[in-house]
A and B are shown apart, each in its own frame.
Chain A
Amino acid sequence: MNRFRLSAGAIDGLAEKARLDDAGAGACVVFEGWVRNHNEGRAVHRLDYQAFAALALSEGECILDEAIGRFELRAATAVHRTGSLAIGDMAVWVGVSAGHRGAAFDACRWIIDEIKRRVPIWKNEHYADGESGWLHPDNSPLDCVR
Chain B
Amino acid sequence: MNYRLLYFASLADRAGCAAESVESQATDPATLYAEIAPRHGFTFAPTRLRVAVGGRIVDWTHTLNDGDEIVFLPPVSGG
Q: Which residues of B contact A137 (CB under 8 A)?
A: 75-77
Alpha-carbon gap, A115 to B10, bound state (A): 20
* Total residue contacts A-B, CB cutoff 8 A: 84
A99 at the interface (CB under 8 A from B): no
Q: Which residue of B lies closest to A58 (CB)?
A: B55
Write out, one digit per residue, whether chain A residues 100-125 have a CB within 8 A of any chain B CB (1) or not (0). Answer: 00000000000010011111111110
B79 engages A140 (CB within 8 Å): no
Q: Which residues of A contact B73 (CB under 8 A)?
A: 52, 55, 120
**What's the least CB distance linking B69 to chain A, in Å?**
9
Write out, one digit per residue, whether chain B residues 1-32 have a CB within 8 A of any chain A CB (1) or not (0). Answer: 00000101110111000000000000000000
Q: Given contacts A52-B8, A134-B13, A145-B13, is CB(A122)–CB(B76) below 8 Å?
A: yes
**What's the least CB distance linking A120 to chain B, in Å?**
5
- In the complex, which range does the number of interface residues on chain A fall in? 20 to 34
Write out, one digit per residue, whether chain B residues 42-72 have a CB within 8 A of any chain A CB (1) or not (0). Answer: 0010001000100111000000000000010
Partner of A55, one of B14, B56, B74: B56
Q: Which of A41-92 contact B (CB under 8 A)?
A: 49-52, 54-56, 58, 80, 91-92
**What's the least CB distance linking A93 to chain B, in Å?**
11
Q: Which residues of A contact B12 (CB under 8 A)?
A: 50
Question: A-side interface residues toward B, CB under 8 Å?
Answer: 33, 49-52, 54-56, 58, 80, 91-92, 112, 115-124, 133-138, 140, 143, 145
20 further A-B contacts with Cβ under 8 Å, apart from A116-B76, A120-B8, A140-B75, are: A33-B79, A50-B8, A50-B9, A52-B52, A52-B73, A55-B55, A55-B73, A58-B55, A58-B56, A115-B79, A119-B78, A121-B77, A122-B10, A122-B74, A122-B77, A133-B10, A134-B77, A135-B77, A136-B77, A140-B48
Name 14 A/B residue pairs within 8 A (Cβ), A-sorted: A55-B55, A55-B71, A115-B78, A116-B78, A118-B76, A120-B76, A122-B76, A122-B77, A123-B78, A134-B9, A134-B10, A136-B74, A138-B75, A140-B48
